[in-house]
Structure 1
Amino acid sequence: MSDAKTTNSGAGLSRPAAFAIVATVLGASAVLGRRNAPDPSHPGIRRWYKRLDKPSYTPPDAAFGAVWPVLETGLAVGGYRLLRQPAGAPRNTAVGLWLLNSAMIGGWTEIFFRKKALGSSTVASGAMIVTGAAYVLAADRVDRPAAATAVPFVAWLGFATLLAERIWQRNRDVKDVVT
């Protein structure tokens, strides 16, 4: 990859515009995720989640709170870097996939925690692996460091999909509306 693909020629979005877009997109995803979090501010969701039969390798709740800020920071840096690159089909494809993945993060929490649709959330998580990998590949064509920032996200999605599938399998008898 040439250095031209890892530096901004000045034809991309301005720093303030790129920052504003990243903050808005990831902020909206975080708000949606927070709205569905199984924490003390959402006692019904928390009770439901605590009652699920989960595999032994389920991380403690605190681990999720530690992992997601790191993953979202990577997505923020990657999105910012891409938005600063010159516009064109490769950049636009990568940005579109970045937007899609950002939306899917918040959407997944809605499916799993709010709707309690364990099977659908597993399918959505699997779809996120595909779109996440596509994002990494598309970003790599435009800005290798931006692509690298999303690799941990895709790796986490692999683990999260396995976890979602096991939770679904272990709780097939749990009614989706139990709170």
Structure 2
Amino acid sequence: MILAAALALSLAASLLGSAATTPNLPWYAGLAKPPFNPPNAAFPIAWTILYPLMAIALWRVATAAAGPDRRRALVAYGAQYILNVAWSFAFFAAQSPALGLAVVGALLLSIAWTIARFRRVDRLAAALLWPYLAWVGFATALNAAILALNS
């Protein structure tokens, strides 16, 4: 039941992000992009891998023994989750690479905080979030380059 809820939460993030992104793809296509910009097909592939990893990590922590470490880990996860969804709205829906960069920078820090909190509860759960941190690190660099090229 808790795993299903964690997967549903990831699906909700995916759907919300897609709702903000898809209508704004023509705007994105018109932006100047750096040479390291991946093909558009890479983004849904990456998120199709990352969201289940995030859900499994959340499930492992949510089913761990109750206590202040678990509570703090879940708060950290909630913060990064909100920022994850907010980025699509900041960058795509608002059509603002500057606002997107502010949100993704906060998201990057929030994921690192979540990993540190998860590690106190479940080392494997923390490890499952490292690919997410790496991808968002890449997304931060990409967002910064897009902002620089289009300012």
Alignment of 1:85-104 (within 5 A): 85-104=64-83
Q: CA deviation at 1:19?
A: 2.3
CA contact 2:50–2:131 (8 Å) conserved in 1: yes
Deviations 1:16-59 (A, max 9, x none): 1x224313422321121110223xxx2xx121000000001000
CA contact 1:93–1:138 (8 Å) conserved in 2: yes
Q: CA deviation at 1:130?
A: 0.7
Q: Distance in 2 between matches of 1:34 and 1:166?
A: 22
Deviations 1:104-143 (A, max 9, x none): 2111001111001111110111111111001001100100
Report the TM-score when normalising by structure 2. Answer: 0.95
The reply to whether residue 32 of structure 1 matches residue 11 of structure 2 is: no
The aligned amino acid for 1:35 is A
The reply to whether residue 72 of structure 1 matches residue 56 of structure 2 is: no
- The alignment's C-alpha RMSD in Å is 1.1
Q: Distance in 2 between matches of 1:91 and 1:69?
A: 26
Structure 1 residue ranges, 4+ long, deviating more than 6 angstroms after superposition: none
The aligned amino acid for 2:10 is L
Compare the two structures and name the one with the higher helix fraction: 2
| Total equivalences in the alignment | 151
* Secondary structure at the counterpart of residue 86 of structure 1: coil
Q: Distance in 2 between matches of 1:146 and 1:163?
A: 27
Q: Distance in 2 between matches of 1:49 and 1:109?
A: 12
Cross-structure match for 1:81: 60
The sequence identity of aligned pairs, in percent, is 30
Cross-structure match for 1:19: 3
What runs of 5+ residues in structure 1 fail to find an aligned partner? Answer: 1-15, 173-179
The reply to whether residue 46 of structure 1 matches residue 25 of structure 2 is: yes
The aligned amino acid for 1:32 is L
* Secondary structure at the counterpart of residue 79 of structure 2: helix
Deviates more, 1:77-86 or 1:20-29: 20-29
The aligned amino acid for 1:23 is L
